[in-house]
Structure 1
Amino acid sequence: MHIVIIGGGAGGLELASKLGKKRSNKKLRDQVQVTLIDQNDTHLWKPLLHEVATGALDDGVDAVSYRAQAHNCGFDFQLGKVINIDRDTQQVELAPLINSDNEVVLKTRYVPYDYVVFALGSITNDFNVEGISENCIFLDKPSQAMRFHKELLESLLTLDETLKTEPDASLTISIVGAGATGVELSAELFHAVEVLKVYGLSRLTDVHLKVNLIEAGPRILPALPERISANANFELSALGVSVLTNTRVVKGQADGFVKDDGELIASNMMVWAAGVKAPDFMSNIGGLETNRVNQLLVKPTLQTLTDEHIFAIGDCASLPLEPNEIIPTNSRQRMVPPTAQAAHQMASLAFKNLTQIMNTNQPSSDSLKSFKYKDYGSLVSLSHYSTVGSLMGGLSKGSMMIEGRLARIMYVSLYRMHQLALFGFFKMVLIAISGRINKVIRPRLKLH
């Protein structure tokens, strides 16, 4: 049996690691092969990309090599970009691999499968707004976060030099989308300026950084309780972030965002973090049913509606929170949210169901477990200034708002849980210790 996992994000890499370790059983080692496919060489936990963008996190230190993880956990890794799936021949098609000199390193390849799991995550949805893709930076993957980091350092260096002769000069960064990414990035930017003053850019102060956080809705963090939203809004405003709610952007251009009333929000750097969708090539891939944001429609067992041999987990899967829920007229069905905790829970269930299939070779939905999403709450980090959020479900009775140091500890623990799933307890502890040591011996911010 050959299980192919497409996408090495939080859910995909966790699933590949668990299935690979499962093959340590001698009986399964000879019968089961697990292959992970990703277009990148390394993995970074997506909720931390805003820290890579500002330099608070060093991708060179924290990135996980897919090949090393494959060796350690007993699965195979193939570098490549999936472009199609042939369900008749049960093959996944990979695009040619092109190097930086535009030379073909690997020709088109076809990977056979018995079962395939789509775990591609999501990309930013620009909603076809004019000029957005040409003028904005997205934070979907490490390469984009590193591009932002490079431009940020260059812009702040230029600003520091300009301040010699123009003391009122400033750098304006505008972020569209006040979800977790936009809110956390806004706070991290002020922390970056604060740290860079220590490393030679002594003319910079908070006054010289202008951050606009733009949200079309009535409040920031719309997916979280209103109390948390209000608390985060207060903290951001205290830092100096200009929070613009009920503000709809209709165009992006080189010098800023254009609002629906025609006013220009002048900007030096522009980030779009207003929505997510599955990659465009996923639309009806292999004849599978997809929704308007290219997510695969799946059953509670996480198998696609069309093919029991194909699973989908994480942001690229569309599953109702309550499949049998009666939806009132003019209301939208509540879906499993595209979050890291949902991807982790889906990976855990997919592992159980694929293990069941390994043991019985029966893909029938009747013999597999159904997914039940558990909301353990949400946490938002405002850099080292504050952390706010709520604990729910199994972590507290009902819902409990937390903030400050306790919230920060819980926020960090989410990443540790991801590392625990990948590496096991002992290695996770060593990585945590190494991280504490690096805080002492390495710069407080990535400076290159």
Structure 2
Amino acid sequence: MHRFIIVGGGAGGLELATRLGDKFGNAGGKRTPRAQVTLIDRNSTHIWKPLLHEVAAGSLDPFSQELPYAAQARWHGFEFQQGDLLGIDRTAKRVTLGPLLDDEAGELMPQRDLEYDTLIVAIGSTTAFFGVQGAQENSLALDTVAQAELFRKRLIAACIRAEYRTPEPGAPSTDADADAVSQRQPRIQVAIVGGGATGVELSAELRNTAQVLHAYGLHKLDPKHDIGIVLIEAGPRILPALPERVSTATAELLGKLGVKLMTSETVAEVSRGSIRTASGKTVAADLTVWAAGIRAPAVLSKLDGLTTNRLGQLIVRRTLQTEIDDNIFALGDCAACAWPGGEKEGRNVPPRAQAAHQQASFLLNSLERRLEDKPLPDYTYRDFGSLVSLGHFSAVGSLMGGLIGGNMLIEGLFARFMYQSLYRMHIAALHGWARMALDTVAHWLRRSTAPRVKLH
């Protein structure tokens, strides 16, 4: 049988493995498989990456949303192998996986090789620190559930610690007049570097988290004035990848939430407790989150001669095949695919969840044609716009593009519904529409009987 191997169980990789397994595998043991489909990921469970800012803020319990790869494989007729990608032998058509270790660094599975006929690389992206001094050592990224959970725990600890910290001499109390309270320095400050979607969404979620932690008695600080949130963006405006009117509307909403915006400020150094910008400003930061950009994992630049761009992404043709090997495809954030007719000539398809979803659907058809020795079509990205969630405050600025043949700014409940529907579409791609509807009801029931923020 033809052997498909998909490396990376993110949104695009898992959707493709699921649909290939349903089409060609032995889903439920009910038919003879036409192909062998194997998914590889370094983790044992999947979570939709755009949810990680909610995990960091505590507004989402990751364990209620994680999907075990082994269970998905059993339900949909593919195999799952856990491990890190170490390398590819293109001549032998073989991928090498690193050993699987347990929590005590004991070896559960040795280093091993898997053979393929068609390889699809979908390992996503990681945070880019751009060589900024101290950034990697003194800030937290939000690439994984573990990193998001670590930030959440540190945030709660910082709030509790700040409550018992002696205020600066002469600082007004919470009973002082309103003007004095509004002008005092925060007793704890969270700095978010990067004014893209992740940074903007996290800043809004954190404001809600501060209020909920106060309501449940985990701290007695003033949620708005004692807990400061500052968003630092190197460009002249936040959300630089989106139209200016979306950026302007979002900035106004963040201002109402008490989020301080610092635009046109490039971070030069991150220290423990502070950030220094290139213009000489110093920003106090009890916690720093780095969300200033992404790049492809470093392993891609070491894969047996495959060509990469300056961000480490695999350069692919319009068929999503790599430049020098027809047997290797790439999709999602790790692929540099040209976008003819895009907003700017020469741009690549943007690293968005909707792009990964489209490419997974495209490859399902292409790989079937490959099995039948038919020519492969060219991929064309369709931009349906971008949505930015401001969380519990029901203030979501968004732009819908390709859906309406133009650009339209939407806000409020409708935009919030559209944002939530993106995740529901991902669930439908993995489980079908019936199970997606049941999952939605189950999620609503869990939320009705649990605190709005994870408190432990």
The normalised TM-score by structure 1 is 0.94
Q: 1:126 aligns with which of 129, 141, 151?
A: 129
Whether 1:266 aligns to 2:290 is no
What residue is the counterpart of 2:358 in the other structure? Answer: 345
1:56 aligned counterpart, secondary structure: coil
Whether 1:35 aligns to 2:38 is yes
Deviation at 1:162, TM superposition (A): 3.6
Change (3 A) 1:315 1:29: farther
Deviation at 1:281, TM superposition (A): 1.3
Q: For residue 407 of structure 2, what is the amino acid of its counterpart?
A: S
Residues 37-186 of structure 1: pairs in structure 2 closer than 5 A = 37-162=40-165, 167=173, 170-186=187-203
1:85 aligned counterpart, secondary structure: strand
Q: For residue 352 of structure 1, what is the amino acid of its counterpart?
A: N
- TM-align CA RMSD: 2.0
Q: For residue 439 of structure 1, what is the amino acid of its counterpart?
A: R
What residue is the counterpart of 1:14 in the other structure? Answer: 15
Q: For residue 187 of structure 1, what is the amino acid of its counterpart?
A: A
CA distance in 2 between counterparts of 1:24 and 1:76 reads 9
What residue is the counterpart of 2:177 in the other structure? Answer: none
Deviation at 1:335, TM superposition (A): 1.0
CA distance in 2 between counterparts of 1:268 and 1:387 reads 28
Q: For residue 435 of structure 2, what is the amino acid of its counterpart?
A: K
What residue is the counterpart of 2:24 in the other structure? Answer: 23
8 Å Cα contact 1:181/1:273 also seen in 2: yes
Deviation digits for residues 268-317 of structure 1, max 9, x if unmatched?
00111111110011114121111111100111111111101000000000
Whether 1:354 aligns to 2:367 is yes
CA distance in 1 between counterparts of 2:151 and 2:345 reads 35
Whether 1:375 aligns to 2:396 is no
Change (3 A) 1:103 1:284: closer
Deviation at 1:164, TM superposition (A): 9.3
CA distance in 2 between counterparts of 1:320 and 1:92 reads 26
8 Å Cα contact 2:118/2:327 also seen in 1: yes
8 Å Cα contact 1:22/1:28 also seen in 2: no
2:120 aligned counterpart, secondary structure: strand
Deviation at 1:353, TM superposition (A): 0.6
Deviation digits for residues 397-438 of structure 1, max 9, x if unmatched?
311110000000000000000000000011000000001101
The normalised TM-score by structure 2 is 0.92
Which 5+ residue runs of structure 2 have no aligned equivalent?
174-183
CA distance in 1 between counterparts of 2:164 and 2:358 reads 49
Q: 1:416 aligns with which of 420, 424, 427?
A: 424
8 Å Cα contact 1:160/1:201 also seen in 2: no
What residue is the counterpart of 1:221 in the other structure? Answer: 239
Equivalent pairs counted in the alignment come to: 437
Whether 1:237 aligns to 2:240 is no
CA distance in 2 between counterparts of 1:132 and 1:185 reads 18
Deviation at 1:107, TM superposition (A): 1.2
1:333 aligned counterpart, secondary structure: coil
Deviation at 1:332, TM superposition (A): 6.9
Change (3 A) 1:297 1:218: same
Deviation digits for residues 56-98 of structure 1, max 9, x if unmatched?
1110101111111111111100110001111011111011122
Change (3 A) 1:96 1:293: same
2:408 aligned counterpart, secondary structure: strand
What residue is the counterpart of 2:308 in the other structure? Answer: 290
What residue is the counterpart of 2:209 in the other structure? Answer: 192
CA distance in 1 between counterparts of 2:311 and 2:454 reads 35
Change (3 A) 1:388 1:308: same
Deviation digits for residues 183-211 of structure 1, max 9, x if unmatched?
00000000001111221135122111111
What residue is the counterpart of 1:277 in the other structure? Answer: 295
CA distance in 2 between counterparts of 1:107 and 1:202 reads 47
CA distance in 2 between counterparts of 1:263 and 1:445 reads 33
What residue is the counterpart of 1:392 in the other structure? Answer: 401
Q: For residue 222 of structure 1, what is the amino acid of its counterpart?
A: P
Change (3 A) 1:200 1:378: same
CA distance in 2 between counterparts of 1:352 and 1:27 reads 22
Deviation digits for residues 100-139 of structure 1, max 9, x if unmatched?
2122221111011111100011101111111111111001
Deviation at 1:255, TM superposition (A): 2.0
8 Å Cα contact 1:39/1:79 also seen in 2: yes
1:283 aligned counterpart, secondary structure: helix
Q: 1:404 aligns with which of 412, 417, 424?
A: 412
